[in-house]
Structure 1
Amino acid sequence: MVLDTAPRLASPWPSWPAEKGTGLAALPPDRPFTRGQARAAASGFPGPHGVWNVLTDHQEWHQGPFTSPSDPAAWYQLAAGGGWQAVVADTTHPVAHDIVTARASGHPGQTVTWCSLPFSVPVLSAPATGPGVTALQTALKAASAEGLPLRRTVVVLTAPGEGRLPPSVKAAATMLQPLVSAVVNLPFDPHIRNHGLADPDRLGRRTHEAGAALVTAVMSAAHRAWGDPLPPAHVPAALSAAPPVPPARPTRPAPEGVLTT
């Protein structure tokens, strides 16, 4: 399952799925929903090993922006309510800025809250360039100062073009290795540059290999932190949405359990 937390008009996810579900707008954050509704809201995205489920917003641009929940715990509840075994949250907030802002204001930031969710493994991506790794190092310094779980954090360096990595990037990756759980290099793929993740079967072989390495790195970080196999994650308690049934009417079966974000 992929959770698209970006605003619709700033996100590429709505244009990628082959089969569109009812979308996030069908699951208002202030109302109960059933597991069936959560499943119906997800869109089908053809992956290399089957269909992924993607929760994103498919409304037309003229319908106005959909207000999605900002609390990461609400997204966790949305994922757990749907019963998916693994969830990737595609977040867009600037990590270092969020950490420093939260530190200055004395309030928990988005990054801290995401990292505190059950079995969460942070994945930080940066372009494999000199400025890219410099910004990444600043973000990791801020995360370290706040005590965020760097030992289970995975770093992904994305190559912006063909050719070898610059010496500065190689040196930065070497320095990062002992600080984080893993550093994965994602090679340049012309198909991603031109089409994003549309038609993922056309991604390059090295891209598939890097994706597999990233999944392995994330699972290894989780297993080191919580054991192998992972214990069951907490599932939010279901709420009853059954309306009161008048005594004179025949009793109807209780509807499926519902949850709220």
Structure 2
Amino acid sequence: MGKKKAALMALSAGSRLVLPVMAATGGSGRSTVADLLAGAMTAAGSGTVVLDTAPRLSSPWPSWTAGQEAGGLAALPPDRPLTRSRVQKAAARRSAGWGTGWQVLTDGRDWHSPPLVLPQDPAAWLQLAAIGGWQTAIADTTHPVAHDIFDARCARRIGQTRAWCELPYAVPVLCAAATASGVQALQQAMRALHADGMPLRRTVAVLVAQTDGRLPPVVRAGATMLTSRTAAVVHLPHDPHIRAHGLRTASRLRSRTQQAARSLAQAVLTAAGATWGMPLPEAPSPAPLAVVSPASR
């Protein structure tokens, strides 16, 4: 990657990016993409966090961050004021060996702990990231995009997809397996996004390869179609280490996997710059907690 491209990967002080990683179906590599994107985005700002919105027993993040003393989401009660130090202390740490490290807010308790009620409103997750002081907030979402859009339209409510896309300075990242069925699901999701007026021109599509070798013709044709409708299409190559071991020990990733992650981060920043300009405007900040003196209690 040349110096000119690297220069785009610098967020101005006070700015914030929200990157909801979404998919039309399960098995699209969503969590893998969120993790790799987080590693690459560490070069862009003063802090990166992954927001794990999945229930504990259906999420890979607790195992990827196991063995740490972070309090996790359970240490952040929704009915009490939060401070930056408390939110930061609750976040686990991740490092792939090729980035400077980033943090993860997940439910890392034992599997037999009572289920944790997670916020459904994307704005609540954004507020949590803002309190923590992270410049890049990457949300590993769980909802199926096309179904969510259709269901929300029928129920005449705001769905998860729209709520994430309408957050300040949000660049959606849409994942799909680089297979015939994966591309078909992605195309259907794109039609739903277009029909609902979603911001496709600042959406980045990621095609996640399932095997080594040349992509099937139907995948290459689908990528060509997506290029004209989205901000960018990024190909994530197959990495045997991820398939065999997951991302608990991500330091052994192939160099081309790391390069694809950097290309994805570059595409996200380019989409943000094309939408809002560079440097990005300052993002809203949470109001400071009021200091209550003993005499006023």
Q: Deviations over 1:206-254 (max 9, x none)?
A: 10010000000000000100110111111121232x455138x9xxxxx
Moved more, 26-35 or 204-213: 26-35
The reply to whether residue 22 of structure 1 matches residue 79 of structure 2 is: no
Structure 1 ranges of 4+ moved more than 4 A: none
Moved more, 10-19 or 141-150: 10-19
Q: Deviations over 1:167-202 (max 9, x none)?
A: 000001001111000000000001111222111110
- Once the two structures are superposed, the pairs formed by residues 154-173 of structure 1 within 5 Å of their partners are 154-173=204-223
Separation of aligned partners in 1, 2:188 and 2:219: 14
Answer yes or no: is the 8 Å Cα contact 1:22–1:42 preserved in 2: yes
- CA apart distance, 1:64: 1.2
Provide TM-score, normalisation by structure 2.
Answer: 0.81
Q: Deviations over 1:91-132 (max 9, x none)?
A: 111011100000111000000000011110000100000010
- CA apart distance, 1:31: 2.0
AA at the equivalent of 1:42: A
Provide TM-score, normalisation by structure 1.
Answer: 0.91
Instruction: Determine helix, strand or coil for the equivalent of 2:104.
Output: strand
AA at the equivalent of 1:23: G
- Once the two structures are superposed, the pairs formed by residues 1-261 of structure 1 within 5 Å of their partners are 1-17=49-65, 19-47=68-96, 48-240=98-290, 242-246=291-295
Q: Deviations over 1:104-163 (max 9, x none)?
A: 110000000000111100001000000100000000100101100000000000011111
**Aligned residues: CA RMSD:** 1.4
Answer yes or no: is the 8 Å Cα contact 1:20–1:44 preserved in 2: no
AA at the equivalent of 2:63: S
Match of 2:14 in 1: none
Instruction: Identify which of structures 1 and 2 has the higher relative contact order when contacts are C-alpha pairs closer than 8 Å and 6+ apart.
Output: 2
Instruction: Determine helix, strand or coil for the equivalent of 2:143.
Output: coil
- Structure 2 stretches of 5 or more lacking a match? 1-48
Q: Deviations over 1:69-109 (max 9, x none)?
A: 11000000000001111111111110111000001110000
Aligned length: 247
- CA apart distance, 1:30: 2.6
Match of 1:259 in 2: none
Greater C-alpha Rg: 1
Moved more, 108-117 or 20-29: 20-29
Separation of aligned partners in 2, 1:113 and 1:238: 25
Instruction: Determine helix, strand or coil for the equivalent of 1:3.
Output: strand
Separation of aligned partners in 2, 1:154 and 1:90: 15
